A and B are shown apart, each in its own frame.
Chain A
């Protein structure tokens, strides 16, 4: 009987972490526990540049302190420097995608491995770079973690560590102890932390939290969503995009989703409760004239447009959505919901007045305090990094004045000099706050501004397209609405967004009437959000021009 299958083999532990997360410390603790218990312990890692925020693997082997039989070649066990795929007993992953990597590399396997994985996400660079939403579905990773391990211990170990004022290595070490996979007592693990002598109390708190978490069941991935992409020609449209997105595991997002569900119910039963006293008429109109499914979004939109400008503006908003809603097919009210969403977002465009108003709201300052973890009465200053461009200032002024300012060389020189390298405004200071407050006071003048006129015209043109196609191609109508997503950012990014939007609308005109029009527009929009220089969109438009057949073949 060979020694390996007989169980004369080391306990093998692989730790997948990112540089700077303390994976090395964790490995050292495990070695210390093992050695104290009389085990042979070996620990290796690949250091070097991998430690600079990159993904890296630490590997530990522990072998019971048995004596070799007489005449053995070696007096101590020969240990491997590599984790062997299929032969790793415990895999510890400091993050959910790293757990996926452990499975991909064959370290975590369903026949052997106890996988201890933190469910928090540290987004990879290409997830963060996308203009739209480049995030990987956490559920896919969680699903893999269940499939790729004999036993999964998963929770947000990062949060546990933060709550304890410590680092993730400590909570993961606790989970390893709590898993019972190693034949050492809890005290032995804790002694290793004590012996390391740094931040011991906080580490022990995080350890305890991790230990307890190892006893709890691991989260399950959310069920497969209904398709959110338009299915051309299907009689009953798919469910609204808001709840069809299959997102995650993150407790904060879960709470937000629950709150949204409660809101949806309230919107159906008592919409008046969701708006302030001066919008009751609008709430009544929403309840009377619009599908239930779209009400929550409409109420959001009404409040937002009213705060942005005034109740009359909210009425204008509802008028606009009503024009689109007239072509609603019933059911889930997707067209109306999307109109409610994107019309409001566009109508509340981010001009300097709006930004100033957002910056001085009380709840915003409270949010900043919470993020900075300020104590209740602790002093805190908030500095804004602003750099108003000449066009932005001209845009805010009444049309005639704005034109004059935009054309004035003197003015542009003065403003240019002031703002070329930006200005820093202390919102918590008297001058800074007053400045922003004054800017926000320009609100009543906004309807007479250059930009206001421009935006309203553009909104109407956009909605005219929706209204024109929606009766024949419902899905295309929805897709045109969603194209508002490319209108993002400020300055150069905003210009780029407007260009992309123009190209998309041109494409709408070109493909309207085609059977796959909605699919094509969805694909083009994705391309528009893929990069900043518009290359992906140009390529996609190029292949569209090359012929419908080719365009269709590029659909994936």
Chain B
């Protein structure tokens, strides 16, 4: 079960010709696929396109009605290889993943696909995880398009424009026998907007038709001599065909032609930001009526030489707004202009930031610098962001001390089952008295690198936690290396790249596999080892069975990570055992976000039905708490916080448990395992008590009342009861 259900929204996908479709960018892309007669879809989840996979999963009924095949691919490589179905058959296929990480993984298959080319339209929808909110290294997908010769669409951030790009992408792919990448920037994926829908189209040929009529063509298979022919074809046939299609369909736009002797060239995805910058500078309006000609590259690869030369023909100077680095387009434009002997001055990264996201502020400053040099007359606006920070009117003038706004990086949620794992690991290190090199992986568990755990030294990619520890394997060392991997990464590739590799090379590492029953960081999608029943997918394949299958002999599965003491002891055992080869601990407990989503409604219902329900939460006794916050330093739970000391004699804040506590038990288990302090308690609130509950309560309160009255009487000799 995914984190967010689109079961309600997917009904919009049935919208027919002429109806207005309003929704998130992701949903619109799905609708566009169906309107385009797509025959099969696959992909791998990951922000910012996780929801695209979730939408497709929730839309399986509609897909089935249309005869569309949909797969949750095992990895991006799997998804890319899936596009092989469009090599010989006129099937339209689409895949999606997060980029550039997903494209890295997929690149082998994509390169082979691009070599032989495609007959049916092949669309690779990449969610460009770049800039604020990104969780990966900052790189561009553009390079992949160039190196394998796939066309790259970068539509302007407008739901209608994105939908048209999907449709045009399939056609472009078919017209040029080339796979097409459609790049959606992070914010565009979550863009809300509307467009006029068309009817969904059943693919003219379905997957079933293809299976029943197998075809092959030797010259499409990547093996010499065909591979040498493919390279020639790319240049001699496919490129010109693509350029013709792009020109004839007018995929790129020229706006405000003839209004000025300077111009701006912009990637489609950055167009809205550019227009906002120009509005601020007084040379465009909300409807894009610009006073400076703009060439919008909705196709950023290939660059259409003739369109560039046409646009630059009547201009003195041109500014290229190209986000990210290296400056591939700028280099390309320079080559085009120089080869043609053009006199136009080309600006780009000299006036705009070389690296980093092109925010409204960055683009405004760059465009202002360009226009100030060539056409100061068209500037009619002075946004305050142009002022130096020392100017009191600048939005960046210091109005708040830098030290009082602390960073707030993402962390493990309240009740996260991964927290006790890292608490236990820290305690195990304390017990063995040795610190270890920890090779981390991609997933929520990577948050362990931050406070309060500070565990993890490198992360080499999804599922590569074990492989990242491969070299740090010494027979002479007095300790072993620890590797971490999530269940998502494990099934993505970690089983072979990590576990298989460690068995084969007799690596001594301790591998911790965090199994929270979902691909949790990407939004709670099911994986092979998920515990849930899934009507569409085969689940419940245990990780321990898999690792034993590839030859691991020391493997343990912990089914309750909240038992920190036991887990700590197991870590100590795994770190000290003499057993050769990798030691694998599978630490299982369900992702709390998903668990709460399931259990909360069930509990509400039970309460309503008059059933006995016990609500647990933790608390801290302020009297007993000495305010040393050791509990926080082994936990970091968002619900474990501090508050002003209610004791007028003491000044340091005491620990406190917030109402958001879900009663997971980590606080108590930590207090025990780390021998912290006796301040933690758990309160169990009983709803709809049974007669036995009530009888017991009466007995107890009688006895306790008797004993405590002596205690209170004594205290009353010294204390005055006052409201604290």
Contacts and interface: CB of A to CB of B under 8 A. Distances in A.
A509 interface: no
B684 interface: yes
Contact of B400 (A83, A141, A304): A141
Interface string B624-652: 10111110110010101110101011111
A44 B380 CA distance: 28
Interface residues of B, number: 143
Nearest to A133: B652
B289 interface: yes
Contacts of A379: 685-686, 689, 693-694, 697
Interface stretch (B77-85, B302-310, B573-581, B666-674): B666-674
A-B pairs, 4 with minimum CB distance: A46-B133, A422-B672, A2-B282, A106-B395
A80 B405 contact: no
Given A84-B383, A379-B693, A311 B718 contact: yes
Interface stretch (A215-223, A353-361, A460-468): A353-361
Nearest to B636: A125
Contacts of B273: 80-82
B283 A85 contact: no
Nearest to B409: A54
Contacts of A360: 707-708, 711
A400 interface: no
A81 B719 contact: no
Contacts of B275: 78, 80
Contact of A493 (B132, B395, B630): B630
Contact of A306 (B133, B678, B718): B718
B406 interface: yes
B677 interface: yes
A376 B315 CA distance: 81
A417 interface: no
A382 B678 CA distance: 13
A10 B707 CA distance: 69
A433 interface: yes
Contacts of A326: none
A19 B410 contact: yes
Interface string B283-310: 1111111100000000000000000000
B454 to A, nearest CB: 11
A3 interface: yes
Contacts of A350: 624, 626
Interface in A106-160: 106-107, 109-111, 122-133, 135-137, 140-141, 144, 147-148
A131 B629 contact: yes
Nearest to B255: A73
Interface in A320-343: 341
A341 B651 CA distance: 10
A46 B132 contact: yes
A497 B630 CA distance: 12
A281 B34 CA distance: 88
B636 to A, nearest CB: 6
17 contacts: A19-B410, A42-B192, A85-B396, A122-B641, A135-B653, A140-B404, A252-B644, A275-B720, A307-B719, A358-B621, A374-B683, A383-B681, A421-B672, A424-B668, A437-B711, A489-B628, A493-B677
Interface stretch (A174-182, A287-295, A385-393): A385-393
Binding site of A, secondary structure by majority: helix, strand, loop or mixed?
A: mixed
A307 B718 contact: yes
A486 B134 CA distance: 41
- A45, A69, A273 — most chain B CB neighbours (10 Å): A45
B408 interface: yes
Given A20-B413, A379-B686, A144 B678 contact: no
Contact of B133 (A47, A300, A389): A47
Interface stretch (A205-213, A364-372, A473-481): A364-372
Nearest to B670: A385
A489 B677 contact: yes
A547 interface: no
Given A45-B190, A68-B286, A279-B717, 4 more contacts: A82-B361, A87-B360, A379-B685, A430-B700
Given A84-B383, A374-B685, A440-B711, A364 B621 contact: yes
Contacts of B360: 80, 82-85, 87
B422 interface: no
B646 A132 contact: no
A83 B276 CA distance: 10
B718 A303 contact: yes
Contact of A278 (B385, B677, B717): B717
Contacts of A63: 286
Contacts of B652: 132-133, 485, 488
A20 B700 CA distance: 40
Interface stretch (B112-120, B444-452, B536-544): B444-452
Interface stretch (A253-261, A402-410, A446-454): A253-261
Contact of B683 (A79, A274, A341, A368): A368
A445 interface: no
A422 B403 CA distance: 40
B695 to A, nearest CB: 11
Contacts of A485: 651-652
Nearest to B294: A73
B11 interface: no
A231 interface: no
Contacts of A136: 403-404, 406
B272 A78 contact: yes
A384 B681 contact: yes
A554 interface: no
B162 interface: no
Contacts of B47: 47-49
B188 interface: yes
B150 to A, nearest CB: 25
Interface stretch (A96-104, A185-193, A510-518, A535-543): A96-104
Interface in A29-70: 31, 35, 41-57, 63, 68-69
A309 B23 CA distance: 69
B565 interface: yes
A437 B396 CA distance: 61
Contacts of A358: 621, 623-624
Contacts of B383: 84, 86-87
Interface string A297-322: 10011011011000100100000000
A127 to B, nearest CB: 7
Contacts of A382: 681-684
Interface string A218-249: 00000000000000000000000110010100
Nearest to B364: A84
B413 A53 contact: yes
B659 interface: yes
Given A73-B289, A275-B720, A362 B712 contact: yes
A42 B193 contact: yes
- B256, B675, B703, B724 — most chain A CB neighbours (10 Å): B675
A77 interface: yes
Contact of A2 (B381, B395, B675): B381
A430 B699 contact: yes
Nearest to B443: A49
A74 B287 contact: yes
B402 A437 contact: no
A9 B359 CA distance: 18
A556 interface: no
Contacts of A125: 408-409, 411, 450-452, 636
